[in-house]
């Protein structure tokens, strides 16, 4: 059974004077920023909004807990009009080992991108060597029934999802 939650955008934690306002960005840590820029900009077609090859402001060290931190940061938007962004971060020092990512592991996330034609997108990306977990799958139940989905991986193995909503029936 599905429950529709109304007025969720205006709710706030009980007994507080604050509330969440919006989703600002999703950050991904990458091993090679140039390779990731090529993937997200050139293969997926995202708009590179800003590339800051050296971010070493003191607040970043305080925020992350790593002293004298140096980052290489690239920010993207799915479309130029998007309010949310994707932030790719390469640790130039204090780099950790890659995480073991799998959809069944707690703490693992994925980024879902809506696409206008999933089959064409799948064929194009597959021809360029992008690794997919399956072929496009039709959603057979739930609120997105009739839509199409497929998981694929970015160069660091981060899980991405392509989603094409079900075609809306046209009025006769």
**pLDDT tens digits, one per residue of 123-151:** 999 999 999 999 999 999 999 999 999 99
Pairing of strands 85-91, 25-29: parallel
Do 85 and 117 have their domain in common? Answer: no
Alpha-carbon gap, residue 161 to 144, rounded angstroms: 14
45 is a domain residue: yes
7 is a domain residue: no
Q: Which secondary-structure segment (H or E) carries 27?
A: strand 25-29
Q: Where are the alpha helices (DSSP H) in the chain?
A: 33-37, 58-64, 118-127
Alpha-carbon gap, residue 59 to 107, rounded angstroms: 26
| pTM of model > 0.85 | yes
CA dihedral 61, 111, 99, 127 (to 10 degrees): -120
**Number of separate domains in the chain:** 2
Compute the mean pLDDT over every residue in the chain, rounded to the nearest whole number. 92
Q: What is the DSSP string of 98-136?
A: PP---TTSTT---EEEE-S-HHHHHHHHHHTT--BSSS-
Last residue of a domain, one of 48, 68, 97: 97
pLDDT tens sequence across 94-106: 999 998 889 999 9
Alpha-carbon gap, residue 32 to 42, rounded angstroms: 15
Do 45 and 87 have their domain in common? Answer: yes
Domain that holds residue 112: 101-172
């Amino acid at each position: 059974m599905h429950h529709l939650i109304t007025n969720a955008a205006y709710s706030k934690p009980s007994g507080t004077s604050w509330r969440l306002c919006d989703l600002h960005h999703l950050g991904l840590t990458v091993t090679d920023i140039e390779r990731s820029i090529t993937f997200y900009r050139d293969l997926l077609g995202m708009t590179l909004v800003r590339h800051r090859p050296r971010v070493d402001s003191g607040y970043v060290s305080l925020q992350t807990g790593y002293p004298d931190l140096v980052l290489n940061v690239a920010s993207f938007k799915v479309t130029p009009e998007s309010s949310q962004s994707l932030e790719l971060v390469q640790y130039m020092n204090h780099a950790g080992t890659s995480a073991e990512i799998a959809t069944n592991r707690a703490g693992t996330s994925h980024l879902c991108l809506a696409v206008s034609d999933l089959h064409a997108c799948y064929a194009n990306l597959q021809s360029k060597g992008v690794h997919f977990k399956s072929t496009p799958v039709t959603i057979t139940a739930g609120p997105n029934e009739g839509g199409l989905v497929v998981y694929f991986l970015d160069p660091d193995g981060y899980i991405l999802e392509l989603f094409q909503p079900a075609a809306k029936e046209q009025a006769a």
